[in-house]
Amino acid sequence: MTDVVDTVSGRHGLPRSEGRSLAFWGVVMLAVTEGMLFVNLLFSYYYLWSVSPEWPPAGVPLPALDWLIAVRTVALLSSSASVWRAERALARGDRRRVWVWTTVTVLLGAFFLATHVREFVGLPEDFLWSDNAYGSLYYTILNIHGAHVAAGLAIWGFVLLRLARGAFGPHDHTPYSTASIYWHVIDVLWVFVFGTVYVFPHLLAGAG
């Protein structure tokens, strides 16, 4: 990837890249942008929570904080560990383990996404995104994060296709590294989403 960028830069009279690649900085800027998106969403959630007499509103049940959401969370966070293991294998040139750990990452992410869909299918029919501000933020925050997981899985699918064609190695891993950064960001964002949407409402309900 870096060689391609250098070739294009040379043709247009631009200096060749030194240090981190353009792809790296591009995904870093994407991560910052996505982070700000969720900062705004979570700020809106907390602000409306602070000015509302009851949160969630009367008649709206607390989000389920059960074994399934715990398993979902462990699965998604564990996928960061499998990505890390895959990157270590890539640095050693162990393509078989790269395949194994990348596939584990995809399976864990797919499980998380499938249970996300299951959760929304099982929501009460009278709990809609258009009912109130709480419903709007609940649907928006969780589904935007779910959309990012889906995008991440699509990226890993592309990575696996490239691996099948012999791409990536100890000295040619920029696309893999940028994909891994994006995935780690998704996992970190879930920690804040999970704490905000699932855990804190139950803590306040218990304190009340």
Stated pTM of the model: 0.85
Separation of alpha carbons 196 and 51, rounded Å: 16
pLDDT in tens, 132-159: 899 999 999 999 999 999 999 999 999 9
Does 1 map to a domain? no
Q: Does the pLDDT of residue 4 top 60, yes or no?
A: no
The structure tokens listed for 90 are 């890539």
pLDDT in tens, 90-134: 888 898 999 999 999 999 999 999 999 999 888 877 777 777 899
Place of tokens 């709007």: 136
Average pLDDT, the chain: 86
Separation of alpha carbons 63 and 61, rounded Å: 6
Judge contact between 48 and 165, C-beta under 8 A: no
For the four alpha carbons of 134, 138, 187 and 182, in that order, the dihedral sign comes to negative
Q: Give the residue numbers spanning the domain of 108.
A: 22-45+62-207
Does 56 map to a domain? no
Does 52 map to a domain? no
DSSP 176: H
Does 184 map to a domain? yes
How many distinct structural domains can be found in the chain? Answer: 1
Which residues are paired to 172 by β-bridges? Answer: 169
Does 2 map to a domain? no
Q: Give the CATH number of the domain where residue 134 resides.
A: 1.20.120.80
Does 197 map to a domain? yes
Does 36 map to a domain? yes
Does 129 map to a domain? yes
What count of other Cβ atoms lies within 10 Å of the Cβ of residue 5?
16
Predicted local distance difference test score (pLDDT) of residue 207: 58
At 174, the amino acid letter reads T
